[in-house]
Structure 1
Amino acid sequence: MSTGGSRERAEIHHEHRDVSGGWLRPSVFGAMDGLVSNFALIAGVAGGTDDTKVIALAGVAGLAAGAFSMAGGEYVSVASQRELALAEIDVERRELQRHPEAEEEELAGVYVAQGVEPALAAEVARQISRNPNKALEVHAQAELGVTPADLPSPKTAAVSSFLAFGVGALLPLLPYLLGVTDLVASAIVSCLALFGAGALVSRVTARSWWYSGLRQLVVGAAAAALTFGLGNLLGETAL
Protein backbone atom coordinates (compact mmCIF):
# COMPACT_ATOMS: atom_id res chain seq x y z
CA MET A 1 0.00 0.00 0.00
CA SER A 2 1.40 3.40 -0.99
CA THR A 3 2.49 5.70 1.79
CA GLY A 4 2.82 8.75 -0.46
CA GLY A 5 -0.34 10.32 0.91
CA SER A 6 0.75 9.74 4.51
CA ARG A 7 4.17 11.18 3.78
CA GLU A 8 2.63 14.30 2.25
CA ARG A 9 0.35 14.76 5.23
CA ALA A 10 3.26 14.32 7.61
CA GLU A 11 5.14 17.12 5.86
CA ILE A 12 2.34 19.63 6.42
CA HIS A 13 3.35 21.90 9.27
CA HIS A 14 1.59 24.58 11.25
CA GLU A 15 2.85 27.61 13.11
CA HIS A 16 1.95 28.98 16.51
CA ARG A 17 1.87 32.60 17.54
CA ASP A 18 4.28 33.91 20.17
CA VAL A 19 2.64 33.29 23.55
CA SER A 20 5.64 33.87 25.81
CA GLY A 21 7.40 36.94 24.47
CA GLY A 22 6.16 39.18 27.25
CA TRP A 23 4.57 41.78 24.97
CA LEU A 24 0.98 40.69 24.36
CA ARG A 25 -0.41 40.88 27.90
CA PRO A 26 1.08 44.30 28.76
CA SER A 27 0.10 45.68 25.34
CA VAL A 28 -3.50 44.53 25.57
CA PHE A 29 -3.84 45.41 29.23
CA GLY A 30 -2.12 48.77 28.73
CA ALA A 31 -4.32 49.81 25.81
CA MET A 32 -7.52 48.73 27.52
CA ASP A 33 -6.54 50.31 30.82
CA GLY A 34 -5.50 53.55 29.16
CA LEU A 35 -8.73 53.79 27.21
CA VAL A 36 -11.05 52.86 30.08
CA SER A 37 -9.28 54.73 32.87
CA ASN A 38 -8.79 57.98 30.97
CA PHE A 39 -12.29 57.88 29.51
CA ALA A 40 -13.63 57.39 33.04
CA LEU A 41 -11.36 60.14 34.40
CA ILE A 42 -12.44 62.63 31.74
CA ALA A 43 -16.09 61.69 32.25
CA GLY A 44 -15.74 62.10 36.00
CA VAL A 45 -14.17 65.54 35.73
CA ALA A 46 -16.70 66.56 33.06
CA GLY A 47 -19.46 65.50 35.44
CA GLY A 48 -18.21 67.97 38.01
CA THR A 49 -17.22 70.95 35.85
CA ASP A 50 -17.87 72.50 32.44
CA ASP A 51 -14.38 74.00 32.21
CA THR A 52 -12.88 72.28 29.16
CA LYS A 53 -9.35 73.37 30.11
CA VAL A 54 -9.68 71.57 33.42
CA ILE A 55 -11.09 68.49 31.69
CA ALA A 56 -8.30 68.45 29.10
CA LEU A 57 -5.65 68.99 31.76
CA ALA A 58 -7.05 66.09 33.76
CA GLY A 59 -6.94 63.92 30.63
CA VAL A 60 -3.32 64.84 29.87
CA ALA A 61 -2.31 64.21 33.48
CA GLY A 62 -4.14 60.89 33.46
CA LEU A 63 -2.36 59.85 30.26
CA ALA A 64 1.11 60.77 31.51
CA ALA A 65 0.70 59.41 35.03
CA GLY A 66 -0.94 56.22 33.85
CA ALA A 67 1.61 55.49 31.11
CA PHE A 68 4.60 55.93 33.42
CA SER A 69 2.90 54.02 36.21
CA MET A 70 1.99 51.13 33.93
CA ALA A 71 5.50 50.96 32.48
CA GLY A 72 7.13 51.01 35.90
CA GLY A 73 4.73 48.47 37.31
CA GLU A 74 5.17 46.10 34.36
CA TYR A 75 8.96 46.39 34.51
CA VAL A 76 9.16 45.59 38.22
CA SER A 77 6.55 42.85 37.98
CA VAL A 78 8.10 41.04 35.02
CA ALA A 79 11.62 41.54 36.36
CA SER A 80 10.61 39.98 39.69
CA GLN A 81 8.93 37.08 37.92
CA ARG A 82 12.02 36.56 35.74
CA GLU A 83 14.36 36.69 38.75
CA LEU A 84 12.26 34.12 40.58
CA ALA A 85 12.31 31.82 37.56
CA LEU A 86 16.09 32.22 37.18
CA ALA A 87 16.61 31.44 40.86
CA GLU A 88 14.59 28.24 40.56
CA ILE A 89 16.41 27.31 37.37
CA ASP A 90 19.71 27.71 39.26
CA VAL A 91 18.39 25.32 41.89
CA GLU A 92 17.63 22.80 39.17
CA ARG A 93 21.07 23.34 37.59
CA ARG A 94 22.80 22.59 40.89
CA GLU A 95 20.71 19.47 41.39
CA LEU A 96 21.67 18.21 37.94
CA GLN A 97 25.33 18.73 38.82
CA ARG A 98 25.16 17.14 42.28
CA HIS A 99 22.69 14.33 41.68
CA PRO A 100 22.61 13.55 37.96
CA GLU A 101 21.38 9.97 38.42
CA ALA A 102 18.49 10.98 40.63
CA GLU A 103 17.51 13.75 38.22
CA GLU A 104 17.63 11.32 35.32
CA GLU A 105 15.31 8.96 37.18
CA GLU A 106 13.03 11.86 38.00
CA LEU A 107 12.83 12.83 34.33
CA ALA A 108 12.09 9.24 33.36
CA GLY A 109 9.29 9.26 35.92
CA VAL A 110 7.81 12.36 34.27
CA TYR A 111 7.64 10.54 30.94
CA VAL A 112 6.17 7.43 32.54
CA ALA A 113 3.46 9.59 34.12
CA GLN A 114 2.65 10.85 30.62
CA GLY A 115 2.10 7.32 29.35
CA VAL A 116 5.54 6.36 28.02
CA GLU A 117 6.69 2.80 28.71
CA PRO A 118 9.24 2.67 31.56
CA ALA A 119 12.08 1.22 29.47
CA LEU A 120 11.61 3.80 26.72
CA ALA A 121 11.20 6.62 29.25
CA ALA A 122 14.49 5.62 30.92
CA GLU A 123 16.28 5.58 27.56
CA VAL A 124 14.90 8.97 26.53
CA ALA A 125 15.89 10.46 29.90
CA ARG A 126 19.37 8.94 29.57
CA GLN A 127 19.91 10.43 26.12
CA ILE A 128 18.62 13.84 27.12
CA SER A 129 20.81 13.84 30.24
CA ARG A 130 23.95 13.48 28.14
CA ASN A 131 23.59 17.16 27.17
CA PRO A 132 23.59 19.31 30.37
CA ASN A 133 22.00 22.34 28.69
CA LYS A 134 19.23 20.31 27.10
CA ALA A 135 18.69 18.43 30.36
CA LEU A 136 18.30 21.71 32.23
CA GLU A 137 15.86 23.00 29.62
CA VAL A 138 13.73 19.86 29.76
CA HIS A 139 13.74 19.70 33.57
CA ALA A 140 12.83 23.40 33.85
CA GLN A 141 9.96 22.97 31.42
CA ALA A 142 8.70 19.81 33.10
CA GLU A 143 9.01 20.99 36.71
CA LEU A 144 8.70 24.80 36.53
CA GLY A 145 6.77 25.31 33.31
CA VAL A 146 9.38 27.72 31.94
CA THR A 147 12.08 27.63 29.27
CA PRO A 148 15.38 29.20 30.43
CA ALA A 149 16.09 30.82 27.05
CA ASP A 150 12.56 32.14 26.57
CA LEU A 151 11.74 34.08 29.71
CA PRO A 152 9.75 37.33 29.29
CA SER A 153 11.72 40.57 29.03
CA PRO A 154 11.02 43.36 31.57
CA LYS A 155 12.04 46.02 29.04
CA THR A 156 9.73 44.64 26.38
CA ALA A 157 6.86 44.54 28.85
CA ALA A 158 7.53 48.10 30.06
CA VAL A 159 7.83 49.65 26.59
CA SER A 160 4.79 47.75 25.28
CA SER A 161 2.73 48.83 28.26
CA PHE A 162 3.84 52.48 28.05
CA LEU A 163 3.06 52.84 24.35
CA ALA A 164 -0.20 50.92 24.50
CA PHE A 165 -1.48 52.86 27.50
CA GLY A 166 -0.53 56.15 25.85
CA VAL A 167 -2.42 55.32 22.67
CA GLY A 168 -5.46 54.09 24.57
CA ALA A 169 -5.54 57.10 26.89
CA LEU A 170 -5.12 59.55 24.01
CA LEU A 171 -8.35 58.55 22.25
CA PRO A 172 -10.90 59.93 24.76
CA LEU A 173 -8.72 63.02 25.18
CA LEU A 174 -8.32 63.70 21.45
CA PRO A 175 -11.63 65.56 20.89
CA TYR A 176 -10.75 68.06 23.63
CA LEU A 177 -7.28 68.58 22.18
CA LEU A 178 -8.92 69.31 18.81
CA GLY A 179 -11.17 71.98 20.34
CA VAL A 180 -14.39 70.03 20.93
CA THR A 181 -16.00 71.12 24.18
CA ASP A 182 -18.66 68.43 24.58
CA LEU A 183 -18.24 65.14 26.42
CA VAL A 184 -20.49 63.48 23.83
CA ALA A 185 -17.72 63.57 21.21
CA SER A 186 -15.27 61.99 23.61
CA ALA A 187 -17.84 59.36 24.56
CA ILE A 188 -18.51 58.45 20.92
CA VAL A 189 -14.81 58.12 20.13
CA SER A 190 -14.20 56.13 23.29
CA CYS A 191 -17.12 53.75 22.76
CA LEU A 192 -16.09 53.07 19.18
CA ALA A 193 -12.50 52.51 20.33
CA LEU A 194 -13.63 50.22 23.15
CA PHE A 195 -15.62 48.05 20.78
CA GLY A 196 -12.86 48.09 18.16
CA ALA A 197 -10.16 47.20 20.69
CA GLY A 198 -12.22 44.34 22.06
CA ALA A 199 -12.90 43.06 18.55
CA LEU A 200 -9.21 43.32 17.69
CA VAL A 201 -8.22 41.28 20.74
CA SER A 202 -10.48 38.48 19.49
CA ARG A 203 -7.95 37.86 16.71
CA VAL A 204 -5.53 36.40 19.24
CA THR A 205 -8.16 34.61 21.34
CA ALA A 206 -10.89 32.06 20.77
CA ARG A 207 -13.74 34.56 21.30
CA SER A 208 -15.86 35.99 18.51
CA TRP A 209 -15.18 39.60 17.51
CA TRP A 210 -18.63 40.84 18.46
CA TYR A 211 -18.52 39.19 21.90
CA SER A 212 -15.10 40.62 22.73
CA GLY A 213 -16.10 44.02 21.37
CA LEU A 214 -19.35 44.20 23.30
CA ARG A 215 -17.73 42.97 26.50
CA GLN A 216 -15.08 45.68 26.37
CA LEU A 217 -17.67 48.31 25.45
CA VAL A 218 -19.94 47.42 28.37
CA VAL A 219 -17.07 47.40 30.88
CA GLY A 220 -15.64 50.73 29.70
CA ALA A 221 -18.98 52.47 29.37
CA ALA A 222 -20.08 51.31 32.81
CA ALA A 223 -16.86 52.61 34.39
CA ALA A 224 -17.25 55.99 32.68
CA ALA A 225 -20.95 56.27 33.57
CA LEU A 226 -20.31 55.53 37.23
CA THR A 227 -17.41 57.98 37.39
CA PHE A 228 -19.45 60.66 35.62
CA GLY A 229 -22.22 60.20 38.18
CA LEU A 230 -19.75 60.44 41.03
CA GLY A 231 -18.16 63.58 39.54
CA ASN A 232 -21.55 65.14 39.02
CA LEU A 233 -22.55 64.39 42.62
CA LEU A 234 -19.33 65.76 44.07
CA GLY A 235 -19.47 68.80 41.79
CA GLU A 236 -22.96 69.68 42.95
CA THR A 237 -21.98 69.13 46.58
CA ALA A 238 -18.92 71.34 46.22
CA LEU A 239 -21.02 74.06 44.64
Structure 2
Amino acid sequence: MKTMHVTQNPWLVRSVIKRNPKLKLICLPFAGGSSVAYREWGRLLPESVETIALEIPGRGQRLMEPLVTHLPDLVKQIAENIQGELDRPYAFFGHSMGATLAYELSHHLAARYNNEPAFLFLSGRSAPHLNDREEPIHQLNDEDFWEKIRSFEGTPPEILQHKELMELLLPIIRADFKMVETYVHQSRPPLNIPMTILGGLEDESTPREHLDAWQGYTTASFSVRMFPGGHFFLQKHTAQILELIMRDLSAVMAL
Protein backbone atom coordinates (compact mmCIF):
# COMPACT_ATOMS: atom_id res chain seq x y z
CA MET A 1 0.00 0.00 0.00
CA LYS A 2 1.28 3.45 -0.83
CA THR A 3 2.16 5.75 2.02
CA MET A 4 -0.25 8.63 2.53
CA HIS A 5 1.48 11.89 3.42
CA VAL A 6 -0.37 13.89 6.04
CA THR A 7 0.65 17.53 6.00
CA GLN A 8 0.68 19.79 9.05
CA ASN A 9 -2.93 20.40 8.10
CA PRO A 10 -4.86 17.28 9.23
CA TRP A 11 -7.60 17.97 6.70
CA LEU A 12 -5.30 17.25 3.75
CA VAL A 13 -3.65 13.99 2.68
CA ARG A 14 -1.37 13.49 -0.34
CA SER A 15 -0.31 10.11 -1.69
CA VAL A 16 2.28 11.77 -3.94
CA ILE A 17 3.72 15.25 -3.55
CA LYS A 18 4.07 17.09 -6.87
CA ARG A 19 6.70 19.84 -7.09
CA ASN A 20 4.92 22.44 -9.18
CA PRO A 21 1.46 21.26 -10.26
CA LYS A 22 -0.65 23.37 -12.58
CA LEU A 23 -3.83 22.22 -10.86
CA LYS A 24 -4.84 20.67 -7.56
CA LEU A 25 -7.54 18.00 -7.59
CA ILE A 26 -9.22 17.99 -4.18
CA CYS A 27 -11.16 14.77 -3.54
CA LEU A 28 -14.04 14.54 -1.08
CA PRO A 29 -15.14 11.29 0.62
CA PHE A 30 -18.34 9.28 0.36
CA ALA A 31 -20.32 8.42 3.49
CA GLY A 32 -18.16 6.38 5.84
CA GLY A 33 -15.16 6.90 3.59
CA SER A 34 -11.77 8.46 4.17
CA SER A 35 -8.78 9.73 2.22
CA VAL A 36 -7.77 6.11 1.59
CA ALA A 37 -10.36 5.90 -1.21
CA TYR A 38 -8.11 8.15 -3.33
CA ARG A 39 -4.71 6.80 -2.27
CA GLU A 40 -3.70 5.67 -5.80
CA TRP A 41 -4.84 8.74 -7.70
CA GLY A 42 -1.74 10.83 -7.11
CA ARG A 43 0.49 8.12 -8.56
CA LEU A 44 -1.71 7.62 -11.61
CA LEU A 45 -2.19 11.27 -12.55
CA PRO A 46 0.57 13.27 -14.31
CA GLU A 47 2.98 15.70 -12.64
CA SER A 48 0.79 18.61 -13.70
CA VAL A 49 -2.02 17.53 -11.37
CA GLU A 50 -1.63 17.07 -7.62
CA THR A 51 -4.24 14.98 -5.83
CA ILE A 52 -5.25 16.08 -2.35
CA ALA A 53 -7.67 13.84 -0.46
CA LEU A 54 -9.77 15.51 2.18
CA GLU A 55 -9.79 13.85 5.62
CA ILE A 56 -12.82 14.95 7.60
CA PRO A 57 -13.11 14.46 11.38
CA GLY A 58 -13.83 11.02 12.80
CA ARG A 59 -11.92 8.78 10.37
CA GLY A 60 -8.43 7.91 9.16
CA GLN A 61 -5.77 9.82 11.09
CA ARG A 62 -8.59 11.82 12.73
CA LEU A 63 -10.48 8.84 14.08
CA MET A 64 -10.68 10.16 17.64
CA GLU A 65 -12.09 13.57 16.67
CA PRO A 66 -15.82 14.31 17.06
CA LEU A 67 -17.99 13.47 14.06
CA VAL A 68 -19.81 16.26 12.23
CA THR A 69 -23.51 15.73 11.49
CA HIS A 70 -24.50 19.14 10.07
CA LEU A 71 -23.40 19.63 6.48
CA PRO A 72 -23.25 23.47 6.46
CA ASP A 73 -20.94 23.36 9.50
CA LEU A 74 -18.62 20.92 7.75
CA VAL A 75 -18.58 23.03 4.58
CA LYS A 76 -17.46 26.07 6.57
CA GLN A 77 -14.77 24.08 8.38
CA ILE A 78 -13.44 22.66 5.13
CA ALA A 79 -13.37 26.08 3.47
CA GLU A 80 -11.41 27.59 6.35
CA ASN A 81 -8.87 24.77 6.39
CA ILE A 82 -8.11 24.52 2.67
CA GLN A 83 -7.46 28.21 2.04
CA GLY A 84 -3.70 27.67 2.01
CA GLU A 85 -4.08 25.19 -0.88
CA LEU A 86 -6.08 27.46 -3.16
CA ASP A 87 -3.05 29.31 -4.51
CA ARG A 88 -3.52 27.98 -8.05
CA PRO A 89 -6.35 26.50 -10.14
CA TYR A 90 -8.13 23.64 -8.42
CA ALA A 91 -10.96 21.21 -9.08
CA PHE A 92 -13.20 19.12 -6.85
CA PHE A 93 -14.04 15.44 -7.22
CA GLY A 94 -16.70 14.12 -4.88
CA HIS A 95 -18.54 10.81 -4.79
CA SER A 96 -22.01 10.47 -3.25
CA MET A 97 -21.84 12.52 -0.01
CA GLY A 98 -18.63 14.01 -1.38
CA ALA A 99 -20.51 15.33 -4.41
CA THR A 100 -22.92 17.24 -2.18
CA LEU A 101 -19.99 18.61 -0.18
CA ALA A 102 -18.19 19.66 -3.37
CA TYR A 103 -21.27 21.45 -4.69
CA GLU A 104 -21.99 23.32 -1.45
CA LEU A 105 -18.31 24.08 -0.94
CA SER A 106 -18.13 25.64 -4.41
CA HIS A 107 -20.99 27.99 -3.58
CA HIS A 108 -19.45 28.88 -0.22
CA LEU A 109 -15.96 29.54 -1.61
CA ALA A 110 -17.37 31.70 -4.41
CA ALA A 111 -19.53 33.77 -2.06
CA ARG A 112 -17.20 34.00 0.96
CA TYR A 113 -13.75 34.01 -0.66
CA ASN A 114 -14.40 34.89 -4.31
CA ASN A 115 -12.44 31.78 -5.25
CA GLU A 116 -14.33 29.03 -7.06
CA PRO A 117 -12.99 25.79 -8.54
CA ALA A 118 -12.02 25.50 -12.18
CA PHE A 119 -14.03 22.28 -12.56
CA LEU A 120 -16.50 20.09 -10.67
CA PHE A 121 -16.61 16.30 -10.98
CA LEU A 122 -19.69 15.06 -9.15
CA SER A 123 -20.16 11.31 -8.90
CA GLY A 124 -22.94 8.99 -7.76
CA ARG A 125 -25.28 11.72 -6.53
CA SER A 126 -28.66 13.01 -7.69
CA ALA A 127 -29.15 16.73 -8.29
CA PRO A 128 -29.75 18.49 -4.93
CA HIS A 129 -33.46 19.19 -5.40
CA LEU A 130 -34.09 15.47 -5.96
CA ASN A 131 -32.32 14.13 -2.87
CA ASP A 132 -35.30 14.95 -0.64
CA ARG A 133 -37.11 12.01 -2.21
CA GLU A 134 -34.72 9.47 -0.75
CA GLU A 135 -35.93 7.41 2.21
CA PRO A 136 -33.86 8.28 5.33
CA ILE A 137 -31.94 5.39 6.85
CA HIS A 138 -29.81 7.01 9.56
CA GLN A 139 -32.47 6.36 12.23
CA LEU A 140 -32.87 2.65 11.42
CA ASN A 141 -31.84 0.10 14.03
CA ASP A 142 -28.35 -1.36 13.63
CA GLU A 143 -29.44 -4.53 11.83
CA ASP A 144 -31.64 -2.75 9.28
CA PHE A 145 -29.07 0.00 8.81
CA TRP A 146 -26.30 -2.49 7.99
CA GLU A 147 -28.59 -4.37 5.62
CA LYS A 148 -29.15 -1.13 3.71
CA ILE A 149 -25.41 -0.40 3.65
CA ARG A 150 -24.75 -3.90 2.28
CA SER A 151 -27.12 -3.19 -0.60
CA PHE A 152 -24.84 -0.38 -1.81
CA GLU A 153 -22.06 -2.96 -2.32
CA GLY A 154 -19.32 -0.54 -1.36
CA THR A 155 -18.18 -2.11 1.90
CA PRO A 156 -15.64 -4.95 1.58
CA PRO A 157 -16.97 -8.37 2.70
CA GLU A 158 -14.11 -8.74 5.20
CA ILE A 159 -15.46 -5.70 7.07
CA LEU A 160 -19.07 -6.85 6.96
CA GLN A 161 -17.95 -10.18 8.44
CA HIS A 162 -15.86 -8.59 11.18
CA LYS A 163 -18.02 -7.59 14.15
CA GLU A 164 -15.43 -5.32 15.78
CA LEU A 165 -14.79 -3.40 12.57
CA MET A 166 -18.51 -3.00 11.97
CA GLU A 167 -18.96 -1.62 15.47
CA LEU A 168 -16.14 0.86 14.81
CA LEU A 169 -17.57 1.99 11.47
CA LEU A 170 -21.23 2.12 12.46
CA PRO A 171 -21.25 5.55 14.18
CA ILE A 172 -19.13 7.04 11.38
CA ILE A 173 -21.40 5.87 8.59
CA ARG A 174 -24.55 6.70 10.55
CA ALA A 175 -23.30 10.24 11.26
CA ASP A 176 -22.51 10.77 7.58
CA PHE A 177 -25.94 9.57 6.51
CA LYS A 178 -27.53 11.86 9.08
CA MET A 179 -25.55 14.77 7.64
CA VAL A 180 -26.67 13.99 4.09
CA GLU A 181 -30.28 13.12 4.91
CA THR A 182 -30.86 16.26 7.00
CA TYR A 183 -29.23 18.47 4.36
CA VAL A 184 -31.66 21.06 2.99
CA HIS A 185 -30.91 22.41 -0.46
CA GLN A 186 -31.18 26.18 -0.78
CA SER A 187 -32.21 27.49 -4.19
CA ARG A 188 -29.53 29.81 -5.63
CA PRO A 189 -28.40 31.05 -9.04
CA PRO A 190 -26.45 28.37 -10.91
CA LEU A 191 -22.68 28.18 -10.68
CA ASN A 192 -20.57 29.21 -13.66
CA ILE A 193 -18.26 26.20 -13.33
CA PRO A 194 -17.74 23.40 -15.89
CA MET A 195 -19.36 20.27 -14.52
CA THR A 196 -19.03 16.58 -15.30
CA ILE A 197 -21.44 14.17 -13.65
CA LEU A 198 -20.51 10.50 -13.25
CA GLY A 199 -22.92 7.65 -12.61
CA GLY A 200 -23.23 3.87 -12.47
CA LEU A 201 -25.45 2.19 -15.03
CA GLU A 202 -26.83 -0.19 -12.38
CA ASP A 203 -27.06 2.37 -9.56
CA GLU A 204 -30.76 2.47 -8.66
CA SER A 205 -30.18 5.25 -6.12
CA THR A 206 -29.14 7.71 -8.84
CA PRO A 207 -31.05 7.08 -12.09
CA ARG A 208 -29.84 8.80 -15.24
CA GLU A 209 -32.56 11.47 -15.16
CA HIS A 210 -31.42 12.48 -11.65
CA LEU A 211 -27.89 12.94 -12.97
CA ASP A 212 -29.06 14.88 -16.03
CA ALA A 213 -30.88 17.26 -13.68
CA TRP A 214 -27.53 18.68 -12.53
CA GLN A 215 -27.47 20.65 -15.80
CA GLY A 216 -29.65 23.30 -14.19
CA TYR A 217 -26.91 23.97 -11.62
CA THR A 218 -24.31 25.42 -13.97
CA THR A 219 -24.20 27.91 -16.83
CA ALA A 220 -20.86 26.50 -18.02
CA SER A 221 -20.11 23.31 -19.96
CA PHE A 222 -21.89 20.18 -18.77
CA SER A 223 -21.71 16.44 -19.46
CA VAL A 224 -22.82 13.15 -17.94
CA ARG A 225 -20.69 10.00 -18.20
CA MET A 226 -21.98 6.56 -17.26
CA PHE A 227 -19.92 3.55 -16.15
CA PRO A 228 -20.79 -0.13 -15.70
CA GLY A 229 -21.64 -0.99 -12.11
CA GLY A 230 -23.69 0.08 -9.14
CA HIS A 231 -23.25 2.91 -6.65
CA PHE A 232 -19.54 2.22 -6.11
CA PHE A 233 -18.61 1.91 -9.77
CA LEU A 234 -15.59 4.16 -9.15
CA GLN A 235 -13.84 1.34 -7.27
CA LYS A 236 -13.63 -0.74 -10.45
CA HIS A 237 -13.04 1.96 -13.06
CA THR A 238 -10.27 4.13 -11.60
CA ALA A 239 -8.19 4.29 -14.79
CA GLN A 240 -11.16 5.27 -16.96
CA ILE A 241 -12.32 7.89 -14.46
CA LEU A 242 -8.87 9.48 -14.25
CA GLU A 243 -8.64 9.49 -18.04
CA LEU A 244 -12.00 11.28 -18.15
CA ILE A 245 -10.85 13.80 -15.54
CA MET A 246 -7.68 14.63 -17.48
CA ARG A 247 -9.55 14.92 -20.78
CA ASP A 248 -12.18 17.26 -19.35
CA LEU A 249 -9.64 19.37 -17.45
CA SER A 250 -7.46 19.68 -20.56
CA ALA A 251 -10.46 21.05 -22.46
CA VAL A 252 -10.64 24.11 -20.19
CA MET A 253 -6.97 24.71 -19.31
CA ALA A 254 -3.45 23.81 -20.42
CA LEU A 255 -2.08 20.82 -18.51
Give the alignment's TM-score, normalised by structure 1. Answer: 0.23
Larger relative helix fraction: 1
Larger Rg: 1
Greater relative contact order, per chain length (Cα 8 Å cut-off, separation 6+): 1
Give the alignment's TM-score, normalised by structure 2. Answer: 0.22
